[in-house]
Structures are given as C-alpha cells and as structure tokens.
Amino acid sequence: MINKLKNIFKKVYTVEAEKVFFAPGRVNLIGEHTDYNGGNVFPCAITFGTYALIRKRNDKIIRFYSDNFKELGIIDVNIDDMEYNSEHDWANYPKGVIWAFEKKGMKIDSGFDILFYGNIPNGAGLSSSASIEVATGVVLKDLYEFNIDMINIVKCSQEAENKFIGVNCGIMDQFAIGMGKKDCAMLLDTNTLKYEYANIVLDGASIVIANTNKRRGLADSKYNERRAECETALKDLQTVLKINSLCELNEEEFEKNRYLIKDEVCAKRAKHAIYENQRTLKAVKALENKDIDLFGKLMNQSHVSLRDDYEVTGIELDTLVEISWEMPGVIGSRMTGAGFGGCTVSIVKDEFVEDFIKNVGAEYKSKIGYTAEFYVAQIGDGARKL
C-alpha cells in the first residue's frame, strides 16, 4: 500500500515523498450525541484510515492532492491565504487545521506537497474528515517541529471543523482518532476530557460495521439543528437548575425537571442525551464485569432512543439494525456516528459472522433496493508517523 502511494506521489509531484503519516477512522460503540452535551462517549480507532505522504517545499505554496478525488487534481494554495474557499473542496479540511494552528501562533514559513489517500468509505460516518484533519495536525507538528501534544492537535482539528468548515461537532471523533489505542476503546468524559482505556475483549465475538450506503445528504445542517435543540432545552432547565450541560443530570433529575422544557421536541432531544450518557457508563461497567449481553442490550436501547427521541436514524439505518437484531449470534446492534445514513455497529458471535453478513446483506438489499457493505473491525492505534 505505502509503496503504491509513494509511486503515485512521484507521478503527481515528480519528486519523491519524504515522510508518511497515518490517521485512523473511528467507530463509536456507545454514547451518541452526548459529546456536545458534556457527556461520555466510548469510541475506538479502527485500522482503516487516511495516509498522508509529504515533501516540504522551499517556497510558499502548498499543493494538495487526494487519490480519492483524482478528478479534482492538484489544489494549489498560498500559505498566506488560509481562507475557506468552496472551490478547494475537500482541501478545506487540511487548510482549516493549518488555519487553527496559525491562530495558536504556530505559523508555517514554507509550503509542502501532500498526497492523501483514505480507505475509510467516504460519507459513511466513520469520520473520514476528522481523520484527514488529525493527519494534517500530526504532519504539521513533525514538519515544523511545533511544540504541541496530541490533545491540542485534537482540539485544533475540532476547531477547524467548527469554525472553518462550519460543522458544530463535539470532540469525540478527533479525540478517538488522535488518542486511539490498539484493542482498546476509550471512555471519554467530554466535559473534563478525562479518559480511560478499556480493553475490548469480546470473548468469541467481533465488532461488525455495516455501511447503509445511504449518503449522509443533509446531515450537517440536521446535526447543527439537533445541537441547537439541546441548547434550547438546557436554557429552559437553567431557569431553575444550576447546570452547565445537559449530561450533568441523571434520569431521575431529568424526569423531575422535564416540565421546565417548553418545547416537547427539545425535551425529547434532552432526554436522549441524558439517558444515553447514563447508558454509556452502564455499558462500560457491563464490559468490566464481562457482561457482554448487557452491553449489547444497552446498544440496542441506544438505537431505539436515537430513532424515537433524537430522530437521527432514517429508514436505512433502522432497517439494517432491525434485521440485525433478528439474526442468530447478534449480541447488540445500533447506528453509530451522527446518523442520517452512514453505518451501524454490531457485536456478533464469531461463528455467526459469516452468516450475519450474508443474510443481513440479502435482506437489506431486498428491502432497501441496494446493497450494504460489511467490515469486521479491528481496533488500531491513533494518528502517527509511519
């Protein structure tokens, strides 16, 4: 793979690449739409991700090329011109990270040629964009010897997404990609950024990711809408309660004070965030106690809540999950990521994985009209130089 990419680099830029970097994608096991509500998440990095090959230049030009978007060719940008430009398409992600670094005083004084290649399916909700962002951060640190640790690379990447791209995401994706660890998921408290790794020992079961192949069309605007609804609910609760985020409440405290939220839709959104946060903590406990069945049940409940209260699933995700629930050997199944299309994550007993892929695939195709794709996920390390 890397040699093939080095050859492509040489063809595109007529010089050899000097360095190679990798940033993974991520899958979230549980804790969805809690990360901008001060709650907990439980994601892991996967072994699919984004490769970045690079060579420093002596002038002030940065040239971006993605082997996933060959038709867009090389995108040239001057280092003094780090502004969002819709013509630059995907290159706005790495540009945004350079912009965020510069805002923190890390100015780059010369350009570079960079080639990206990602084997994460695009638009599948496995964070291909956060993967490009964190890869860029790791490249910048290495190339210009900036004194920045991984947590701050993660924060710059999130800032790029929020302020440069305009998607008000939380910190989960960038964090999982930067801080991932082989065979571990991480329980991250997004309020304090305290985190701990949990070994994922599923005792004869695997994590299976299934892509609905539904493009996440209006996802970004719907995402920002959900976030705004949570903020409205929080404001209503704050008229009486002294809280800074929704996830400071547990289920009982929420039910007692739910009447404060004027709009019923906003109350449902808040309910999801608060219950999901508690479910995440219960799920991690279940895993510690080696109670995989309980972990699976909590995953299923998470999906129901995302479907009915948060309303971010849709026919494709619901169909895929509901078919999965009926299959032998399935311990739990839910949508993962932002929703509105994208992927599901299931825990399936090893001896049933093959049949699961075959039978879920066939039933999905007959109900939805096109195929889903399946990946048995391996949990890998976070972003790094290769």
Residues that bind ligand GLA (CB under 6 A): 32-33, 35-36, 169-170, 172-173, 337-338
Closer Cβ to ligand GLA, 35 or 229, answer by number: 35
Catalytic status, residue 109:
no
* Least Cβ distance, residue 377 to ligand GLA (angstroms): 16
* Least Cβ distance, residue 75 to ligand GLA (angstroms): 24
| Alpha carbons 4 and 11: distance in angstroms, whole number | 11
Closer Cβ to ligand GLA, 33 or 271, answer by number: 33
* Least Cβ distance, residue 173 to ligand GLA (angstroms): 4
- From 35, 76, 89, 173, active-site residue: 173
Long-range contacts, 118-124 (Cβ 8 Å, 24+): 118/25, 118/48, 118/49, 118/50, 118/51, 118/66, 118/68, 119/48, 119/49, 120/25, 120/46, 120/48, 120/49, 120/50, 121/211, 121/373, 122/68, 123/215, 123/216, 123/341, 123/342, 124/211, 124/342, 124/343
Closer Cβ to ligand GLA, 79 or 198, answer by number: 198
Report the candidate in 93, 116, 230 with the shortest Cα–Cα distance to residue 162: 93
* Least Cβ distance, residue 86 to ligand GLA (angstroms): 21
Closer Cβ to ligand GLA, 53 or 185, answer by number: 185
The contacts of residue 361 (CB under 8 Å, 6+ apart) are 371, 372, 374
| Alpha carbons 176 and 4: distance in angstroms, whole number | 27
Residue 328 DSSP label: T
**Catalytic (active-site) positions:** 173
